C-alpha cells in the first residue's frame, strides 16, 4: 500500500521521536494514487509499485556500496538483480545474477535473463551500465575476484539469451563492491575495493567502451597500510556535476579477526561491540584528471590514505562511538557540493536515527530526520528540481533483532521524508510499500535510484526489495514508477 502522510516538521531542535508522535495520518488504499507533487510542478501524479524477480536472497538488490543496478536507455529500464532460489530452501540459498527490462510506456517487464551460475554469496549480484555507443555492460560475481564482465552485442538491447552477450575484458584481478559512473570525456569509471576488509580502495577508467582500463599509480585509501593493522572502511561515492571529480565518503572500523575484546571495547556503550558497527565519517575529493586526492578544504593528501591521516585531515564527523553498518547515501546540493544520508546508533545499540549531513559556512552539520530500526538500513537521498530534499528511509517499530539470514542486514517500512528548508526541518510525507494482503508484514531495504547512462537519476522511479520470512529466500524486487517524465 502507498499511504499519503501529512504531519509536522522535525527540526534540529526537535527529536525525531517527538515529531513522529505528532504525525496526522491518512491512508489511501489504492494500488495507484494521487499525491501533491513536491517536485515543483504543482500537479498530482500517479504511482505504481511493480514486483519482479522471484526467489531472491539477502541483498537481491544491493545497498549503497554497489551501484548502479538499473540504467534507462530509450525509455526502457534495464535492471540487474540476484534471484531464482528454490523456495523450499532456507538459510543462505543459491541465487543467480539476472537481468530484466521494463518498458516505461507500457509499464511491462520482459522475461528475466539469467547471466551466470547460482552462488550463495550475496556480493555476486550484478551492476549494469551503458557505454558511449549505448551497449549495455554487466559485471557480476565480484567478491575478491575479477568477476564476469559482459557486453551486449546490440545497442540498447539486452537480448533474450546469453548468446546475445560477449565476454568483455577483465577490469582488475580482484574487485569487491564495484560502482560504475560516466565521467568527463564520455569515459566510464569503476570504483572498488581491491581485496578483503582491510585492503585498499581505488578506481579504474576506460575511454574505449570498456575494452581497456587504467588508474592511479597509488590507491585512494588503505587504512591499515602504516601500522594499525586490520583497520578497514566502507565507502560510497558520486561524481561531481561536471564529471571531473569523485566525491568519496567512508566509515572506519577495527576489523580485528581475533575478536580481541580490548580492541573491540566501545567506551560509549561500555562493552565490546562487534564489527557490525562502523564509525565516524571521512570525506575526500578525487581529481580524476590528475589523481590528486584532497580534503573538503582543498588540502592534498598522501595516498593511499591510512587511518591516522583520515582521522587527522579527512574526518568530517567524529561519531564518538556511535556506529552504522552501511555507509551513507550521497546527493549533491544546489551548489554541487556533497550531502549525505546516514544511519547511526544512539543511546544504545538498538536505537538508531537517520541524519542529514551537509556543510554550511565551512562547518559540517548534522540534522536528525527520523528513527530507524537497524544499522544496516540503506536509504536514498535526492534533491528535486524545486529544491525540496527527499530522504527515502527504512524504519520500523523497535529494533529488528533477528538471527535470520534475510534479516541480518536490516529491513522495515520504506518511508519518504521531505525538507523544504535545506535539511533543517523534516516531515514524513508518505509510506512507500506495495499493496495487497500478500505483502502484509513484509520488510523492505536497499532503496536506490534508476539512473541514465550519465548517472543522473530518473525522477519518479526507485528500486528496492522485500521479503516476509527471516530465513526463506523468497524475496522480491520492486520498481516504484510514479510518472513518465
Write down the residue that cell numbers 577483465 correspond to: 170
The reported pLDDT for the residue numbered 47 is 80
Q: Which of 92, 193, 88, 216 is nearest to 144 (CA)?
A: 193
CB-based burial label for 269 (10 Å; 0-12, 13-18, 19+):
middle
pTM: 0.91
Q: Which residue in this structure is represented by grid cell 571521512? A: 282
Question: Which of 207, 213, 101 lies closest to 149, judged by CA?
Answer: 213
Q: Where are the domains of the chain?
A: 2-481
State the Cα angle at 346 between 342 and 348, rounded to 5°: 135
pLDDT score recorded for residue 484: 52
Please give the grid coordinates belonging to residue 452.
Answer: 541514465
Q: What is the pLDDT of residue 37?
A: 32
> Of 315, 288, 280, 269, nearest to 182 (Cα)?
288
In this structure, the dihedral spanned by the alpha carbons of residues 59, 65, 70 and 71, taken in order and rounded to 10 degrees, is -170
Model pLDDT, residue 215: 97
Return the pLDDT at 68. Answer: 98
Q: Which residues contact 99 (CB under 8 A, 6 or more apart)?
A: 78, 79, 80, 112, 113, 115, 126, 128, 138, 158
Which pLDDT score is estimated for 436? 85
CA separation for the pair 97, 450 (Å, rounded): 18
- Tens digit of each residue's pLDDT, the chain (485 residues): 443 333 344 444 333 333 333 322 222 222 222 233 333 222 334 689 999 999 999 999 999 999 999 999 999 999 999 999 988 777 788 999 999 999 999 999 999 999 999 999 999 999 999 999 999 999 999 999 999 999 999 999 999 999 999 999 999 999 999 999 999 999 999 999 999 999 999 999 999 999 999 999 999 999 999 999 999 999 999 999 999 999 999 999 999 999 999 999 999 999 999 999 999 999 999 999 999 999 999 999 999 999 999 999 999 999 999 999 999 999 999 999 999 999 999 999 999 999 999 999 999 999 999 999 999 999 999 999 999 999 999 999 999 999 999 999 999 999 999 999 999 999 999 999 998 899 999 999 999 999 999 999 999 999 999 999 999 999 999 999 996 54
Only one residue has cell 590507491, namely: 219
Model pLDDT, residue 476: 97
Model pLDDT, residue 7 = 39
d(CA 219, CA 288): 13
d(CA 186, CA 184): 6
Give CATH for domain 2-481: 2.120.10.10
Contact present, 55 and 61 (Cβ < 8 Å): no
Amino acid at each position: 500500500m502507498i499511504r499519503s502522510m501529512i504531519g509536522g516538521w522535525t527540526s534540529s531542535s526537535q527529536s525525531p521521536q517527538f515529531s513522529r508522535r505528532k504525525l496526522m495520518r491518512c491512508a489511501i488504499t489504492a494500488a495507484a494514487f494521487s499525491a501533491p507533487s513536491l517536485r515543483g510542478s504543482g500537479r498530482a501524479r500517479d504511482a505504481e509499485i511493480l514486483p519482479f524477480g522471484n526467489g531472491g536472497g539477502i541483498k537481491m538488490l544491493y545497498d549503497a556500496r554497489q551501484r548502479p543496478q538499473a540504467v534507462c536507455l530509450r525509455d526502457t529500464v534495464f535492471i540487474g538483480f540476484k534471484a531464482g532460489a528454490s523456495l523450499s530452501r532456507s538459510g543462505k540459498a543459491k541465487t543467480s545474477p539476472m537481468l530484466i527490462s521494463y518498458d516505461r510506456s507500457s509499464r511491462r517487464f520482459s522475461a528475466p535473463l539469467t547471466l551466470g551460475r547460482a552462488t550463495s554469496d550475496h556480493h555476486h549480484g550484478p551492476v549494469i551500465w551503458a557505454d558511449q555507443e549505448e551497449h549495455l555492460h554487466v559485471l557480476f560475481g565480484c567478491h575478491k575476484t575479477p568477476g564476469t564482465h559482459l557486453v551486449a552485442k546490440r545497442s540498447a538491447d539486452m537480448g533474450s539469451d546469453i548468446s546475445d552477450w560477449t565476454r568483455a575484458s577483465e577490469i582488475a584481478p580482484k574487485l569487491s563492491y564495484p560502482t560504475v559512473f560516466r565521467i568527463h570525456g564520455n569515459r566510464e569509471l569503476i570504483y572498488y575495493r581491491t581485496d578483503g576488509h582491510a585492503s585498499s580502495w581505488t578506481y579504474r577508467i576506460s575511454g574505449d567502451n570498456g575494452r581497456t582500463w587504467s588508474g592511479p599509480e597509488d590507491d585512494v585509501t588503505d587504512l591499515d597500510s602504516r601500522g594499525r593493522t586490520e583497520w578497514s572502511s566502507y565507502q560510497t561515492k558520486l561524481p561531481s556535476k561536471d564529471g571531473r571529480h569523485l566525491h568519496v565518503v567512508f566509515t572506519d572500523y577495527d576489523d580485528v579477526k581475533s575478536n580481541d575484546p580490548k580492541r573491540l571495547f566501545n567506551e560509549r556503550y561500555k562493552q565490546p561491540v562487534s564489527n557490525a558497527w562502523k564509525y565516524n565519517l571521512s570525506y575526500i575529493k578525487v581529481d580524476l584528471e590528475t589523481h590528486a586526492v584532497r580534503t573538503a578544504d582543498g588540502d592534498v593528501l598522501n595516498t593511499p590514505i591510512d587511518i591516522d591521516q583520515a582521522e587527522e585531515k579527512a574526518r568530517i564527523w567524529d561519531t564518538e562511538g556511535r556506529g552504522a553498518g552501511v555507509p551513507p547515501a550521497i546527493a549533491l546540493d544546489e551548489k554541487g557540493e556533497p550531502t549525505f544520508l546516514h544511519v547511526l546508533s544512539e543511546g544504545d545499540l538498538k536505537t538508531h536515527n537517520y541524519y542529514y549531513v551537509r556543510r554550511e559556512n565551512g562547518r559540517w552539520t548534522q540534522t536528525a530526520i527520523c528513527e530507524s530500526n537497524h544499522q544496516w538500513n540503506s536509504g536514498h537521498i535526492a534533491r528535486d528540481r524545486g529544491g525540496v530534499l527527499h530522504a527515502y528511509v527504512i524504519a520500523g517499530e523497535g529494533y529488528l533483532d533477528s538471527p535470520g539470514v534475510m534479516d541480518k542486514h536490516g529491513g522495515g517500512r520504506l518511508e519518504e521524508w521531505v525538507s523544504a528548508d535545506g535539511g533543517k526541518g523534516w516531515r514524513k510525507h508518505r509510506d512507500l510499500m506495495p499493496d495487497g494482503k500478500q505483502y502484509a508484514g513484509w520488510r523492505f531495504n536497499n532503496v536506490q535510484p534508476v539512473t541514465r547512462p550519465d548517472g543522473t537519476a530518473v525522477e519518479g522511479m526507485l528500486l528496492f526489495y522485500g521479503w516476509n520470512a527471516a530465513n526463506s529466500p523468497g524475496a522480491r524486487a520492486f520498481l516504484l514508477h510514479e510518472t513518465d517524465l
